[in-house]
Chain A
Amino acid sequence: MMNKQKSIWVFGDYRNYYQNRVTLQLLSRAVDLSRTLKAEVCAVLFGHDIEEWIMEYTAHGADRVLAIDHPSLTSYSTENYLALIEKLARERDPDIILIGATDFGREFAPRLAKRLQTGLSADCVGLDITSEGLLVQVAPSFGGNMLAEIVTERHRPQMATVRPGTFKEIPHNNERTAIVERLPLPADLPASRVRLVEYERAVQREHTIENATVIVCGGRGMGNKNNFKKLDELAGLLGGDVGATRPVVYAGWAGHDSLVGQAGKHIKPKILFSFGISGAIQHTAGLGEADFIVAINKNPQATMMKMADVAIVADSGDLLRHLIRELKKRIRE
């Protein structure tokens, strides 16, 4: 018997295409992995008026596109999409299914994995193939402070959701061709038990603390609200944002918008200043992706000081005042 052609599927998540190119990034990584596995790369796409995406996915690396285009699929529906992809996966038995770790993907993928009785790793930041041909799924835990290499040894497909921005997309190539299978909506598609009553695109702020390059965070160690407010001045000088810990937000020194951590924002600045913060997990869980951390604290033993690249042992308020004064002298526009 001839060996079945192995297939790596990438779920086509296009709802925020212009802000989030995770599907194209996954196609690119799937192309790399497919060389090792001698597999084809297949994009799976549901929706209405989706020709644009069929062309995009072809131009960005798909060998095959499975597309179901129907007016009833105009808006995203977890239950509808689940029924469709489950049926296709049972018929065609893909070796790997990759799904972007968007909010939608992270609700959709676990349910698909359960239906297909297979494993799934969440929000991966790396994918590779072992010498035995297994998919290595590198998943973060503890706010990104640790990484785990995960494999699904005995069950298929091997599934992962993958964090947007992990891989680079292949440049658009109009010359590429793919086998496009336009499939009908199955007649026996069960009606979704969840009704979408209304939806609207939320107003997106251009600038948010989540995408700030420099963030100045303050904690209880700032002593009082006046000292805390001076963090604004440092953030202003550096074109950055101010973040806060939970006790500070509770004390009313800062708004809930600036809460950084488990219950607040997860940040990824190039430089993070951390003033008077001890480093409780509720806060540090939001810092896993900060590139370079400068912590200022009187206590050199504080967790935050141990996490930092640069630990300055000083009174937070004093250090802040001197840092602002010196920076003003040194910054050239």
Chain B
Amino acid sequence: MLNIVVCIKQVPMVTELPWDEKSGTLRRDLAAGMMNPACKHAVEAALQIKETQGASITVMTMGPPAAEEVLREALAMGADRGVLICDRMLAGADTYATSFILASAIRKKCPSCDLILCGAYTSDSETAQVGPQLAEELNLPAAAYAENIEVNSRTLRVRRLVDHFRETLEMELPALVTVSMERYQPRYASFSGLDRAFTRAGISVLNAEKLGIASADLAGQGSRIRVRNVFVRKAQKENMMITGAAVRAANEFLDRYEGKIGAAIGKSIEAKK
């Protein structure tokens, strides 16, 4: 039976987040969280492998205590156990440090895992870097942006679309794959599944000490990059509001912006005089 680890992330559910001006990081504590969509597709991919050939699925996340929710959700979808890596000391890690910490947890909790799946990218920072860097940490063959994954005994076959090329790749297990959102439409967790997932045990919590990560390691394996400044891109938004009956509003809008629309579509737009 295959041992699969799926690394997932909780991301904020809102578009604009306040940030901490001192540290340049986002106040994630102020937003409700959800499972990152691509991570959900990765969980679905693992479940489909489990259904066809049997597998034991461990879902793993790093985050604040509330991140346990996304592990519970994955359990409700059908994963077997969860690992939460949670320690203030590990907060604010960049992808370099995150991949080091995840690798430490995988070595500790699932040393004999065959396949590691990650979402191809997250909706908050969108670096798409943790998966590939985790493959380096664990010295595994890897493929990003998988649309389809097949396992035949110890051989993994991945199909993907990269830079307008359709590729079929093969590698021997153990291996790491990041899953795109093209296929593997995630299933909904059933209410009974959710109920069970939130009441049963099955989640172990690791802090830095249990992982054997000391502050000296974080000096060596810690974040490489520093955020100097964060700013909102759209500084000069127009901020025009039009109200009133629909026919008047449509005309007012066109009167004001017919030049702009005309320029965009390369046609002249003007009201009949």
**What's the least CB distance linking A302 to chain B, in Å?**
12
**What's the least CB distance linking A185 to chain B, in Å?**
21
Q: Which residues of B contact A221 (CB under 8 A)?
A: none
Answer yes or no: B133 CB below 8 A from chain A CBs. yes
Q: Which of A16, A150, A282, A300 has the most CB of B within 10 A?
A: A150
Q: Quick check: B123 and A300 within 8 Å, CB to CB?
A: no
Q: Quick check: A111 and B135 within 8 Å, CB to CB?
A: yes
Q: Which residues of B contact A106 (CB under 8 A)?
A: 128-129, 144
Q: Quick check: A146 and B271 within 8 Å, CB to CB?
A: no
User: What CA separation (Å) do A106 and B144 show in the bound complex?
Assistant: 9
Nearest CB to that of A318 among chain B residues?
B246
Known A-B contacts A113-B133, A310-B257; A322 and B246 likewise in contact (beta carbons under 8 Å): yes
Q: Which residues of B contact A263 (CB under 8 A)?
A: 37, 181
**What's the least CB distance linking B175 to chain A, in Å?**
8
Answer yes or no: A233 CB below 8 A from chain B CBs. no
Q: Which of B96, B165, B241 contacts A300 (CB 8 A)?
A: B241
Q: Which residues of B contact A188 (CB under 8 A)?
A: none
Known A-B contacts A119-B225, A195-B169, A202-B161; A146 and B135 likewise in contact (beta carbons under 8 Å): no
Say which size band chain B's interface belongs to: 35 or more
User: What CA separation (Å) do A152 and B95 show in the bound complex?
Assistant: 13
5 residue pairs, one from A and one from B, having the closest CB atoms: A119-B224, A309-B238, A193-B141, A119-B225, A322-B250
Q: Which residues of A contact B209 (CB under 8 A)?
A: none
- Chain A interface mostly: mixed
Nearest CB to that of A77 among chain B residues?
B169
Q: Quick check: A152 and B230 within 8 Å, CB to CB?
A: no
Q: Which residues of B contact A120 (CB under 8 A)?
A: 95-96, 129, 224-225
User: What CA separation (Å) do A147 and B12 show in the bound complex?
Assistant: 17
Q: Quick check: A285 and B123 within 8 Å, CB to CB?
A: yes
Stretch in contact with the other chain, from B13-21, B50-58, B63-71, B189-197: B13-21
- Chain B interface mostly: mixed
Q: Quick check: A213 and B265 within 8 Å, CB to CB?
A: yes
A-B contact pairs, 10 of them (CB 8 A): A110-B128, A117-B224, A146-B19, A147-B230, A195-B169, A197-B169, A198-B168, A214-B264, A263-B37, A312-B241
Q: Quick check: B269 and A327 within 8 Å, CB to CB?
A: yes
User: What CA separation (Å) do A117 and B219 show in the bound complex?
Assistant: 12
Q: Quick check: A310 and B141 within 8 Å, CB to CB?
A: no
Nearest CB to that of B237 among chain A residues?
A309
Q: Quick check: B240 and A326 within 8 Å, CB to CB?
A: no
**What's the least CB distance linking B271 to chain A, in Å?**
6
Tell me the residues in window 55-70 of chain A with beta carbons closer than 8 Å to chain B beta carbons.
none
Answer yes or no: A1 CB below 8 A from chain B CBs. no
Q: Quick check: A333 and B267 within 8 Å, CB to CB?
A: yes
Answer yes or no: B1 CB below 8 A from chain A CBs. no
Q: Quick check: A199 and B167 within 8 Å, CB to CB?
A: yes
Tell me the residues in window 242-273 of chain B with beta carbons closer than 8 Å to chain A beta carbons.
242-244, 246-247, 249-251, 253-254, 256-258, 260-261, 264-272
Known A-B contacts A118-B224, A238-B261, A238-B265; A201 and B165 likewise in contact (beta carbons under 8 Å): yes
Q: Which of A114, A270, A312 contacts B136 (CB 8 A)?
A: A114
Answer yes or no: A107 CB below 8 A from chain B CBs. yes
Q: Which residues of B contact A318 (CB under 8 A)?
A: 246
Q: Quick check: B14 and A79 within 8 Å, CB to CB?
A: no
Known A-B contacts A150-B226, A213-B264, A330-B270; A312 and B242 likewise in contact (beta carbons under 8 Å): yes
Tell me the residues in window 120-161 of chain A with beta carbons closer than 8 Å to chain B beta carbons.
120-123, 136-137, 139-155
Answer yes or no: B78 CB below 8 A from chain A CBs. no
Q: Which residues of B contact A111 (CB under 8 A)?
A: 132-133, 135-136, 142
Q: Quick check: A151 and B228 within 8 Å, CB to CB?
A: yes
Answer yes or no: A226 CB below 8 A from chain B CBs. no
Q: Which residues of B contact A145 (CB under 8 A)?
A: 15-16, 232-234
**What's the least CB distance linking A99 to chain B, in Å?**
12
Answer yes or no: B152 CB below 8 A from chain A CBs. no
Nearest CB to that of B269 among chain A residues?
A330
Q: Which residues of A contact B128 (CB under 8 A)?
A: 106-107, 110, 122
